[in-house]
Amino acid sequence: MFLVVGQGNPGEAYARTRHNVGFMVLDRMGLAFWRKGEALLAEAEVGGRRGLFLKPLTYYNLTGQAVAPLARFYKIPPERILVVHDEMDLPLGRLRLKAGGSPAGNRGVASIALALGTPAFHRLRIGIGKPPAKELGAQYVLSPFAEEEWPLAERVLSAAKEAVLCWVREGLLPCAQRFNGLDLRQG
């Protein structure tokens, strides 16, 4: 069994913000989500593998509170968990799949690592670019993409959806080889 976690914040005020790209990717999956505790959950079979898709309602920085109980209940090991989240260290147009590692300042990823007791889960990092000034980071991630960015953002979200499906079917390494070098800024 697998678990795909889309990171984001609940509510219409956050729906189109950079911080919600994880939710946006899961929204493109065409799944029927239902409310279960502090999350929206969907169950699906992809490539003969049964699994769960999760949109935590705990707010971004507390994502671990929704992820860990679910992973424990369904006995899903960290290497079968994929967290889809925004990444300021990558420009808009780039994706990066990786296993484990530092949260690099991402409080949602840190929350999951703390709640699971390990950072060994997999991550799909979606580039959103850097804010104009470092001190504007929180404001930047909670702002929507600019109108001129949306065509590229839509291509990125479509590619991220394909990366999630690839990860479920084939695992991390083949998908990292396919998607980590992709630069959607080039058309």
What are the catalytic residues? 19
* H helical segments located in the chain: 21-27, 64-73, 107-116, 137-141, 150-170, 172-179
Residues 6+ apart with CB under 8 A from 35: 41, 57
Burial class (CB in 10 A: 0-12, 13-18, 19+), 134: exposed
Beta bridge partners of 49: 46
The two three-digit tokens of residue 183, written as one number: 């630069």
